[in-house]
Amino acid sequence: MEASIIIPAFNEEVNIPPVLDVVCTLRDDYEILVVNDGSEDKTSDIVRSYDIRVLDMPENKGKSCAMWAGVQNTSGGIILFLDADLIGLKAEHVHQLVLPIKENIADMTVGIFSSGRGFTDLAQKLTPFLSGQRGVKREILDMLDEKEWISGYGIEISLTRCVKEHDLRLLEVPLDHVTQIIKEEKLGLARGMMARLKMYWEIAKEINRV
């Protein structure tokens, strides 16, 4: 396949079906892989019920490690990363993220939520470089070093930095009526806030990395 879709997932059995409903319609055009990042729930079983390939990691290693494992186990010249907890994703959004790279208009695309939910829209408008919906040429991923691939949520910062350092073409793509489930909704207020603080810590470490 010319393009591969990689979906890192950790304990997403409740949230991933709407994403799988969409990507399973694209299997003739895209290679699809869900990386089950050591989930403790039935994420893997849910994915298999859609007849979508899943890579089971033996333990939770974090988002960036799951993404890298996906890269190593796919073959597309274009890689599209999608979060497993998206709401409102449609096949047209996938095409919109991949087509500019396929037509050599961009080296990397970043999906920005639009007209979804106010707080997720605002967060992405303020920090578009943190979006997990990202298409990229495979050879660009080879530019990242090993430390960047173990940076957890800092991987988005690494990809954005790579664009600037190598003067690559980055295109922001509005994803109309798309949003996602936030950590506090998944885990409850206390656990969700702790997970968010961990995410911010991983991002801050990568921002400050020399």
Task: With respect to residue 168, please indicate whether it lies within any of the assigned structural domains.
Answer: yes
For residue 203 the two structure tokens come to: 């991002």
Please name which of 184, 170, 166, 58 lies closest in space to residue 120, comparing C-alpha atoms.
184
Is residue 21 in a domain?
Answer: yes
Residue 190 in any domain: the answer is no
Residue 47 inside a domain? The answer is yes
Q: Is residue 165 part of a domain?
A: yes
Within a domain: residue 115? Answer: yes
- Residue 63 sits in a domain whose CATH number is 3.90.550.10
φ/ψ of residue 170, rounded to 5: -110, 130
Domain of 133, in residue numbers: 3-149+156-181
* pLDDT tens-place string over residues 111-152: 998 755 554 545 555 465 568 899 999 999 988 877 766 655
Is 73 within a domain? yes
Instruction: Please give the tally of structural domains in the chain.
Output: 1
For residue 197, tell me if it sits in a domain: no
* Residues 59-107 pLDDT 10s: 999 888 999 999 999 999 999 999 999 999 999 999 999 999 999 999 9
Q: What pTM does this model have?
A: 0.83
Q: d(Cα 150, Cα 154) in Å, to the nearest integer?
A: 8
Q: Which two tokens stand for residue 138?
A: 């495979």
pLDDT of residue 14 exceeding 60: yes
Determine contact, residues 15/89, Cβ cutoff 8 Å: no
